[in-house]
Chain A
Amino acid sequence: MMDEILIQALSGLSRGMVLFVVASGLTLIFGTMRIANFAHGSFYMLAAFLTYSVATMVGDRTWGFLAALCLAPPIVAGVGALIEWGLLKRIATRPHQYQLILTYAITLIVADGIKMLWGSDYRTVARPAGLDGAITILDMPFPTYNAMLILVGVLIAVGLHLLLTRTRFGKTIRAAVADGEMIGALGVNVQRLFTGVFALGAGLAGLGGVLAAPVGSVSLGIDSSIIIESFAVIIIGGVGNVMGALIGAVLIGVVHAVGILFVPKLAIAFVFIALCAVLLIRPQGLLGRNT
């Protein structure tokens, strides 16, 4: 029984890692620009469909997946930069609800666009060769692909940590999270920084979409399920805090997966019970700061 729980927890961890990759982008955008970007789930969904198309075009499942991994996140980052520069920037000085409405409108536009281009069928993406089997943990099989997801999640976490603590761009982002007006008065072009952060965040959502494509489904509607969970993650972890997003995502992934084992019908409820518990005990999130 313990073994079963452990394997289930590992599987939850791998799902949590995908969630982390997506939510890290959302928390960076929310933290720096104070925009609750509903369109974040659309970037994820767009990348999943792009993965399907690239993989189909390339043919070979290994090269197809690798090509999608190289192409889809930058494409989605570019789309994000265009949206920020072309739309969000224009209404930056308006009250927040306008930005909410705009990002929500973008989710509708992207969803309909995807429906027009790809249709509303369910798509599947094959796992690359070598990652389609299982490894043995505690005498139990565990999908190799999910093990790879855990590894990639850790690598992204380390990469983002280094970006935020070792590069001037990253340090400037953290300064903007703390006080955007002040960093502007110190000579930083905050508008351009925002475009960069938005592109980075969109690219992370895109990376999540590519990684999830071979395990989840590629279908309309995955945008809204991921965005709800992503918001839960950043509320748990603390807005603007990437390491908080890691903890939040792992917590949600594991609670959900282990919950299914005991009370299948309430698995999703556990996630929101965890969310409410955090909100009651630490309203600013586990690693968030009082503002």
Chain B
Amino acid sequence: MLTCEAINTFYGPAHVLFDVDVKVGEGDMVCLIGRNGVGKSTCLKSIMGIAPVTTGQIRLDGTEISALPPYRIARAGIGYVPEDRRVFADLTVEENLEVAERHDGPWNRKAVYELFPALQEFRARRGGLLSGGQQQMLTIARTLVGNPRLLLIDEPTEGLSPLVVRTLEDMIRGLKAKGQTMLLAAQDLRFSLSVADVIYVLDRGRVAYCGDRAQASADIERIRPILSV
């Protein structure tokens, strides 16, 4: 579904991604793991067009999207859940969902309220007044109501309590079971090894390892050092 070929991304003069290749197949759950600052978020932002690539190709179902503005990439079918949550603090939960809703798939406000009953309870509350966990649910829900074919999620469990982490991990497993295609950035090898179809390990802006779940489990001794250096 998604093919990134030799993408290079810069922030001004800083070269952050070096010839990164990433493939996500239809219905796959792909995890992008790596230490702090290796470029996981940048990779997702490059796919989304927020940190446009300088060279390389990004194709969605064969169509080149790397030169499109983010809104066209979103409309082409990619949904983005940013790492720092970025709920619209002044808008209520309901309004946060409403501005992102696109009626061309199974997801709508009602469906995400069933997925996250906590959001339904606080639907009239301002996004900025929610707890961290609720905000994370809201950003995921907000992206889902856009009915993306491919969902990019950046470190959804970062900094949250173990209980909320469990809820979110179960939700992600649920999405996978429904056939949602996903590319998830994470620091946590444990969760990735339990759900991913394919695992990419980034190191200083390069793909240092790539393999399916069975392979990765077997190669765990090779992956660990890349994550802990």
Contacts and interface: CB of A to CB of B under 8 A. Distances in A.
A174 B70 CA distance: 19
- Counting from the closest, the 10 A-B pairs by CB-CB distance are A187-B74, A186-B100, A178-B88, A175-B88, A184-B70, A185-B70, A182-B86, A175-B99, A185-B80, A184-B71
A179 interface: yes
A190 B143 CA distance: 17
A182 B82 contact: yes
A178 B89 contact: yes
Interface in B29-83: 48-50, 69-71, 74-75, 80, 82
Interface SS majority for chain A:
helix
Contacts of B156: none
B95 A179 contact: no
Given A183-B88, A188-B71, 7 more contacts: A171-B95, A175-B96, A178-B88, A183-B99, A185-B49, A186-B146, A188-B99
Interface string B93-136: 00110111010000000000000000000000000000000000
Nearest to B102: A187
A289 B100 CA distance: 23
A186 B50 CA distance: 12
A177 interface: yes
B142 interface: yes
A174 B74 contact: no
A171 B50 CA distance: 22
Given A186-B100, A187-B102, A187-B146, A171 B91 contact: yes
Interface residues of B, number: 24
A171 B71 contact: no
Nearest to A182: B86
Contacts of B70: 181, 184-185
Residue picked from B74, B82, B90, B99, most chain A C-beta under 10 Å:
B99
Nearest to A172: B99
Interface residues of A, number: 20
A178 B49 CA distance: 20
Contact of A289 (B48, B90, B98): B90
Nearest to B69: A184
Interface of A: 168, 171-172, 174-175, 177-179, 181-191, 289
A171 B99 contact: yes
A171 B96 CA distance: 9
A284 to B, nearest CB: 13
B75 A177 contact: no
Nearest to B81: A185
A185 B50 CA distance: 8
25 contacts: A171-B99, A172-B99, A174-B95, A175-B88, A175-B96, A175-B99, A178-B89, A179-B88, A181-B70, A183-B88, A183-B99, A185-B70, A185-B71, A185-B80, A185-B82, A186-B74, A186-B80, A186-B146, A187-B71, A187-B75, A187-B100, A187-B102, A187-B146, A188-B71, A190-B71
B98 A179 contact: no
Nearest to A193: B71
Contacts of B91: 171, 174-175, 178
Contacts of A182: 82, 86, 88
Contacts of A189: 71
Nearest to B127: A178
Contacts of A175: 88, 91, 95-96, 99
B71 A289 contact: no
B38 to A, nearest CB: 22
Contacts of B82: 182, 185
A179 B86 contact: yes
Nearest to B95: A171
Contacts of B98: 168, 171
- A177, A179, A186 pick with most chain B CB within 10 angstroms: A186
A191 to B, nearest CB: 8
Given A181-B50, A181-B70, A186 B99 contact: yes
A168 B103 CA distance: 14
Given A185-B50, A186-B142, A186-B143, A174 B90 contact: yes
A195 to B, nearest CB: 14
Nearest to A241: B90
Q: Which among B71, B75, B86, B100 has the highest number of chain A CB atoms within 10 Å?
A: B71
